[in-house]
Structure 1
Amino acid sequence: MTSQIASLFEPLDDLRKAEPIEDFDDIVEGLRQSMTVGGKLVGIPVRHATQGLFYNEELLQEAGISAPPDTLEELVEQAKKLTFTSKSSTPVVGMILASDLAVFPVMFARAFGGDFIDKQFRVVPDPEAMEKGLSVLADLFKAGALPRSYATTRNDDMVTWMQQGRAAFAVLPFARYAQLNNKEQSTAPGKIKAIEFPGSKTLGSGQEMHPVVESWAMAIPANSADKKLSWSYLRFVASKAATLDMARNGNGPVRSSTYAEPSFAGSQPQAKVEAAALAKARPAFPAFPEAARAQSTFLEEVQLAVLGRKNPKEAVAAIVDRVKPLMPA
């Protein structure tokens, strides 16, 4: 939602003042802020996908690991140990990650307190943290704990590999829980679980891991013929009852209260963990006109670092040099 795109939609503050949305502050603040441009609300969040760390409990137990990792360092150690051939004769990689989205390298950089682009539009505000994150990914690839096909791995591949027991860990939205544990598709239904992505043990006091969240919202076109009717629909979709119903059908609920609703939490084993992650989550990078090009440039350098074609320090320097000219003035 850049300023140019926001100009195509109706500002919603006056409509919300005249006919308020039920308990608007219950909608997670970070999601509301992502739809606020120039101080004006232009969209109502209705869905999110917050990234968590999924793991195959059966594979962990087979490798003699009693619990998922508490730190990034433990994750790396476990992923290497879980790069093996399972009892079912299936070759297993410790971790499966897609290479075509900034989500994944950003998560590893944030584990060290870094970022790709922060809210102030600074490119790689902490180069050392990004270098550490890329070094971890390169180390996992070198050890065989990432697939040899990493450079061509896509989002759907991660789901398939986890379902088939070919990977022990994956970074995916919490909402994928039901799909990963589908009895008709998964080799370990009920055994693929999720935790918050762990930060490094080197994270300083007061620092915390900020997982990546993507969100969707509804807006009213500026040239809409009946804005009042449109607003009545948005108010309904944003209500607690509608949010709960959508959540039961697999939507990431945008309201904090939904996670505490017994009828939802009781059927969603990951609800408590997801709620905690969402409270700290933020997008992979802020919206700006050249964002897509910036992501592509970032991923080119990330792949070179992970595959060993560049050392992480060189890759990070290139990211800064190449992405800075794309930043808004």
Structure 2
Amino acid sequence: MKTGFQRATAPLALLTLTTLTAVGCGGGGSDDASKTVTVWMYPVIMDPKANAAYWDGIEKGFEAKEKGVDLTIEQLPWENRDQKLATAFGSGKGPDVVLLNPDQIPQYQASGALLPVDRAIADAKSAFRPAALEVMTQDGKLYAAPIYHTVTSTLYNKKLLAKAGISVPPTSWDAITAAAPRLKQTGATTLDYSASNEASLNMSFYPLLWQAGGRVFDDSGKKAAFNGAEGVEALSFLVDLYKSGAVPKSAMTNANLFTDQALGKQQVAMGFTNTPADAALAEKAWGKGNVIVGPALTGPKKQVCFGIPGGLGINARSRNVAGAEKFLAYMIEPAQIESMGKAGGFFSPRADVTVPGGGTFAEEYREALTHTFPGEPHPAARQLMALISPQIQAALTGKKSPKEALDAAAEEANDLLARQR
């Protein structure tokens, strides 16, 4: 075991993944070539000390069970995550195992960068929630073993709402619009948002798009759909709030963070894509009794929030596929699923495991689970985010109208999608 949770270093230039050769189940190297298993992990547990302690315990527990296997879990930042991972896969220097979200799988599977993991979870596959496996599956094969399930919902600062004379938290777009002038009179903004280019649109613009009844891609997956009437309605709602001062100016640099941002600093009354971990941090920052977790936000057409399983995938060029599969099998055991859920405030992707406790707001988040949508997995999903985010910024700052901004992003997106056919 290597201690210290080393941060992997990789060139920042994005290498083309299409040159990779697809490798079947069995791996890109001899299982006996290495007794080391390297894992790239990200700060899924919000408290840095708790995060480090948890994964240190996983290292020790796994090595005690699998004698002779040296497990190294490297902690990487979320920032530039896809760029660094694509570079590592492209250069053949990536980890044996990496944490993946569903929308990353189509791109890396299509390039041959991932191995199926069906064999690693075969003995426990029937215990998983079907939806958790479905979004990790591509072309009939599973490419990531779920180890936790996320859910987001609305989070309110009761003290700020009360100061504005608002006794019922706004749970719809119309209610937010109505509450904004009253909150502004007290010096508070209304809705938290993350407009940084580093922010995932699954945790910012896309839920608004889905609430308006829109989609990112059309049914064929070959054209953009986010610039339709629903997308324009969603972005117009956001722009109107920003221009009126109901969305904090700091939104432009926020990358889906709570601590040291407007919501954490009690400058804004509510967020709409907040996790159980955010709620726990809010209790510490605002004081018990000042936190309300509400239902998934309701838009003009739908009540929907973002929630996905997080899973472990295996690098097709791993030199120790057998060791990687053993690590996946270890992490999906009930004990690890339970401990992961408790440490990170997650829910279980297994139907036969219930995470005990779950914090003060466990029931509210379980309720929100019924409205979760995992996004729209697509090989170009992450690339489209990079095209859409700057255009949303242009709309927020008044450089373009919402329609102009989304049409410009769609034109770039359709060019990209046409090249990938």
TM-score by length of 1: 0.81
Which residue of 2 is the match for residue 231 of structure 1? 325
- 1:292-319 deviation per Cα after TM superposition (whole angstroms, max 9, x unaligned): 4321221122122222222222222222
Q: 2:152 aligns with which of 29, 51, 59?
A: 51
Q: Does 1:174 align with 2:265?
A: no
Distance in 1, matches of 2:190 and 2:124, equals: 45
Distance in 2, matches of 1:273 and 1:179, equals: 16
- 1:105-158 deviation per Cα after TM superposition (whole angstroms, max 9, x unaligned): 212122211133367424125711111111111111121111234323333366
Q: CA deviation at 1:159?
A: 5.5
Q: 1:295 aligns with which of 382, 385, 391?
A: 385
Contact 2:395 2:405 in 1 (8 A): yes
Distance in 2, matches of 1:227 and 1:148, equals: 47
Tell me: CA distance 1:79–1:250, structure 2 relative to 1, closer, same or farther (3 Å): farther
- 1:192-230 deviation per Cα after TM superposition (whole angstroms, max 9, x unaligned): 222233222x42xxxx33322354311233455554554
Which residue of 2 is the match for residue 192 of structure 1? 291
Q: CA deviation at 1:33?
A: 2.4
Contact 1:151 1:303 in 2 (8 A): yes
Tell me: CA distance 1:161–1:258, structure 2 relative to 1, closer, same or farther (3 Å): farther
Which residue of 2 is the match for residue 307 of structure 1? 397
Tell me: CA distance 1:162–1:152, structure 2 relative to 1, closer, same or farther (3 Å): closer
Amino acid at match of 2:173: L
Tell me: CA distance 1:13–1:138, structure 2 relative to 1, closer, same or farther (3 Å): same
Which residue of 2 is the match for residue 39 of structure 1? 140
Tell me: CA distance 1:257–1:177, structure 2 relative to 1, closer, same or farther (3 Å): farther
Q: 1:264 aligns with which of 344, 357, 361?
A: 357
Distance in 1, matches of 2:241 and 2:345, equals: 32
Which residue of 2 is the match for residue 88 of structure 1? none
Name the SS of the counterpart of 1:162 in structure 2: coil
Distance in 2, matches of 1:77 and 1:43, equals: 43
Gaps of 5+ in 1: 86-90
Name the SS of the counterpart of 1:160 in structure 2: coil
Which residue of 2 is the match for residue 68 of structure 1? 169
Contact 2:193 2:271 in 1 (8 A): yes
Tell me: CA distance 1:112–1:250, structure 2 relative to 1, closer, same or farther (3 Å): same
Which residue of 2 is the match for residue 84 of structure 1? 185
Contact 1:79 1:168 in 2 (8 A): no
Q: 1:286 aligns with which of 370, 377, 390?
A: 377
Which residue of 2 is the match for residue 241 of structure 1? 335
The root-mean-square deviation of aligned C-alpha atoms, in Å, is 2.8
Q: CA deviation at 1:55?
A: 0.7
Which residue of 1 is the match for residue 211 of structure 2? 111
Which residue of 1 is the match for residue 95 of structure 2? none
Distance in 2, matches of 1:269 and 1:124, equals: 39
Distance in 2, matches of 1:118 and 1:210, equals: 19
Name the SS of the counterpart of 1:314 in structure 2: helix
Amino acid at match of 2:204: F
Name the SS of the counterpart of 1:54 in structure 2: strand
Q: CA deviation at 1:4?
A: 5.5
Which residue of 2 is the match for residue 12 of structure 1? 117
TM-score by length of 2: 0.65
Contact 1:177 1:192 in 2 (8 A): yes
Distance in 2, matches of 1:60 and 1:324, equals: 43
Q: CA deviation at 1:253?
A: 2.3
Name the SS of the counterpart of 1:313 in structure 2: helix
Aligned residues: 308
Amino acid at match of 2:328: L
Contact 1:70 1:198 in 2 (8 A): yes
Which residue of 1 is the match for residue 195 of structure 2? 99
Tell me: CA distance 1:258–1:74, structure 2 relative to 1, closer, same or farther (3 Å): farther
Contact 1:113 1:209 in 2 (8 A): no
Which residue of 2 is the match for residue 252 of structure 1? 346
